[in-house]
Structure 1
């Protein structure tokens, strides 16, 4: 998931330097594209890296997965900006690997590995589930008005908050050194905490500097500083670079394809929520770009953007990487720079694809020690939870809403903390409810439908 408030559109008008259809000269377009990439490159590659590290995927396969995340993000960005028939929003939209799916995929995948399933089979199941789930988004893009009535901002806020709260555990594990450090007995030792603490502290410090490019690139700059400290401590491992080929064409179904209902169940809810996030993000981009935010053109953009979310997740599953979604960080960059030209987006897409086709780039990214990455992702994951709170802050929190929030969070967080709760349930039901996000999300959808939206207060 991208770290943002998915439903909030900017309220402050933006003076555009480059409008939606402006065509800047190649040098200017390239520089504007690099400006965007500084703010989004880390969130694009981080989800795949975290999942692979948690499941123990080999360096070579991790390299391929991270590389393909860049390629797939570039393809989606190109289609969103260029627009082909019903595909794409026709706006400056950057798309990247979604954080929404990290928690459930790590939880389900680690459980399968502990049960003795080979890592390659686990990855085949994950990508089979990604492919199956992509059709949910593609179908939703055709029936958005109905879905918006069923999945209200109250439901969306609860699910996004649940995703963020469950991801924080993943972030803390990374700060301590990851699952590898746990097995080696070095988890959360002084060295790991120093690396993660320096990165976290730098992110906070850099956000106090009143320079736009410094604040928008705070995570990238903090990670670079963390890597320098890790190099001084002898913690940088470039084995991934040494194993990387100089060029790698996309290879479909590298792991084969399989399926797991226990992995798929939470993905259904997350695909629903991700589609609704895309609606908010595209609406925000339309507003900043001085385009309509209601009417037929706006609805065409919404449908096209959500459809690309689904189609690109299908491509992601086929080419061995994880689902992608619209990145709302892009809206902040447009607002700060005044660059809303979708032709700049085509340059962004080209750079992403080129970076992905040369696996050495992914090898360098793999060299980042997990505690260094953990210092950054804890901020990203906390921001996901904060986004959920921000969404709920825009909802009228009457007694009905508070009851739905209370029950959904209690059951969702309860199951994620005490998974044994579903042990004696029928296997089919346990597969669905063993994910806290799925339990909380299903509960929120059901209660939102069951309890009338306007309830008369009974006064004694």
Structure 2
């Protein structure tokens, strides 16, 4: 089944097309720039909250390196592991609450930073097995994880990411000059540049719209004094990965919330892969689609096991890169191999990442805002394929109401048990679980009911042709 809205002009390079190296590198760089901040932000947040600053450079390097390995596996699909598409693997924000809870559990017992990391990576390693097991029964799960549920989850992912993009456009979280006119002007300039370049009929211009927007925005920021390059000192030349560098530990209290988040992450991945299939003009039903889902979710699980082994936090398929595919018109899975190679280099050579880290937040915000909006639009397009009858509209309305409501009032659940807070503290998890439960509890209208109201043809006229 092909999406009706897809037309040949939407893609410059299809799923199995092989772009020339320069075109592939350009497309890959845009994916990396779109995901770079998302990959390194969870280690920064976790490191600051748990007092792990001495290990932070290594944690960031491993996050980038493992993201590259996972992305390469998803694109290459060895032994059926991976979706065979551009599925950029990155550190998942969904696990922040559960990982911090595990870390604080050890910290309250008087554990050292090494003990904290040993516990986190131990429970994350075994939690990844949950996703590996779920990947084997995706066909059965599809009876529950319908296009309606995946559309709701993808839309909520996009809406949640938009908050990150608009915050960066204003200057970044807790920025002293947040919302300053100079920040808004710089972010707006980058956003307008990308929109104008993306409307070009020249493939090369459209292909490099995000890179040009970021480069021009950085130059304007440097010229106006908003970008002051900082010297890079104290970084090792190479960050060599070490298996279980901090040891290995396990605790059921810490494990259960993490395992439940892996279930939610699986639902998110199914939604992301469905959106990716639509953008790449691949079937979103039938055996080949189910095979992609199985491989993609398995790839996520394997990527998370590799992450825990090499001291990186749990990974997931990044939704924002579907926005890059839509903007650039490049869906070639071979670009995923280049993305993986670039991320591995960023992880092995931390000086490269340190340079990219200096891109001003408003510049990144202007670029990511339109990409995150594209993710939400992809979710809406999936929802449009489901029949919008009274039942489905009720499920959509309730799921959005619960998800976006909790996101708007994050303190709503502060008196609930920690497990409940970890499960429902984001729009994605709360809205996704609501959609799942309502689809199970509200029966669908049987087609026989609709057929019964169609009048029979008149015997005198014979059957209708």
TM-score band, normalised by shorter chain: 0.7 to 0.9
Match of 1:158 among 119, 135, 152: 152
Partner of 2:143: 149
For residues 143 and 303 of structure 2, what CA distance do their matches in structure 1 show? 25
**Is residue 410 of structure 1 aligned with residue 405 of structure 2?**
no
**Is residue 75 of structure 1 aligned with residue 66 of structure 2?**
no
**Is residue 270 of structure 1 aligned with residue 261 of structure 2?**
no
Offset, 1:394: 1.2
**Cα distance 1:436–1:352, how it changes in 2: closer, same or farther (>3 A)?**
closer
**Is residue 315 of structure 1 aligned with residue 306 of structure 2?**
yes
Please, which moves more after superposition, 134-143 or 277-286? 277-286
Offset, 1:149: 0.7
**Cα distance 1:129–1:174, how it changes in 2: closer, same or farther (>3 A)?**
farther
Q: Secondary structure at the match of 1:248?
A: coil
Q: Secondary structure at the match of 1:442?
A: helix
Please, which moves more after superposition, 364-373 or 414-423? 414-423
Offset, 1:399: 0.1
Offset, 1:164: 2.1
Match of 2:29 among 6, 21, 38: 38
Offset, 1:369: 1.9
CA contact (8 A) 2:172 2:178 kept: yes
User: What is the TM-score of this pair, normalised by structure 1?
Assistant: 0.77
**Is residue 226 of structure 1 aligned with residue 217 of structure 2?**
yes
Offset, 1:252: 4.3
Partner of 1:205: 196
Partner of 2:345: 354
For residues 98 and 139 of structure 2, what CA distance do their matches in structure 1 show? 32
**Cα distance 1:158–1:19, how it changes in 2: closer, same or farther (>3 A)?**
closer
Partner of 2:373: 382
Q: Secondary structure at the match of 1:178?
A: coil
CA RMSD of aligned residues (A): 4.2
**Is residue 443 of structure 1 aligned with residue 438 of structure 2?**
no
Task: Give 1 or 2 for the bigger CA radius of gyration.
Answer: 2
Structure 1 segment 291-330 matched on structure 2, within 5 A: 294-295=286-287, 300-319=291-310, 320-325=312-317, 328=322
Partner of 2:276: 281
Offset, 1:322: 4.7
For residues 359 and 31 of structure 2, what CA distance do their matches in structure 1 show? 17
Match of 2:81 among 77, 87, 100: 87
User: What is the TM-score of this pair, normalised by structure 2?
Assistant: 0.76
Offset, 1:147: 0.9
**Cα distance 1:378–1:31, how it changes in 2: closer, same or farther (>3 A)?**
closer
Offset, 1:146: 0.5
For residues 37 and 267 of structure 2, what CA distance do their matches in structure 1 show? 22
Offset, 1:247: 1.5
For residues 322 and 202 of structure 1, what CA distance do their matches in structure 2 show? 34
Offset, 1:308: 1.6
Structure 1 segment 241-280 matched on structure 2, within 5 A: 241-253=232-244, 259=254, 265-278=260-273
Partner of 1:3: none
**Cα distance 1:263–1:164, how it changes in 2: closer, same or farther (>3 A)?**
farther
**Cα distance 1:352–1:170, how it changes in 2: closer, same or farther (>3 A)?**
closer
For residues 8 and 401 of structure 1, what CA distance do their matches in structure 2 show? 20
For residues 155 and 346 of structure 1, what CA distance do their matches in structure 2 show? 30
CA contact (8 A) 2:198 2:209 kept: yes
**Cα distance 1:370–1:39, how it changes in 2: closer, same or farther (>3 A)?**
closer
For residues 137 and 129 of structure 2, what CA distance do their matches in structure 1 show? 13
- Structure 1: runs of 5 or more not aligned: 1-6
Partner of 1:373: 364
1:379-410 CA-to-partner distances (Å, cap 9, x unmatched) read: 22222222221211111110000111111111
For residues 51 and 225 of structure 1, what CA distance do their matches in structure 2 show? 28
How many residue pairs are counted as aligned between the two chains?
433
**Cα distance 1:362–1:390, how it changes in 2: closer, same or farther (>3 A)?**
same
Offset, 1:236: 3.4
For residues 414 and 223 of structure 1, what CA distance do their matches in structure 2 show? 33
CA contact (8 A) 2:29 2:339 kept: no
CA contact (8 A) 1:175 1:373 kept: yes
For residues 61 and 285 of structure 1, what CA distance do their matches in structure 2 show? 39
1:165-192 CA-to-partner distances (Å, cap 9, x unmatched) read: 22322222222222241xxx32222332
For residues 299 and 258 of structure 2, what CA distance do their matches in structure 1 show? 23
For residues 46 and 207 of structure 1, what CA distance do their matches in structure 2 show? 22
Offset, 1:155: 0.8
CA contact (8 A) 1:59 1:240 kept: no
For residues 380 and 215 of structure 1, what CA distance do their matches in structure 2 show? 14
CA contact (8 A) 1:247 1:359 kept: yes
Structure 1 segment 177-196 matched on structure 2, within 5 A: 177-181=171-175, 185-196=176-187
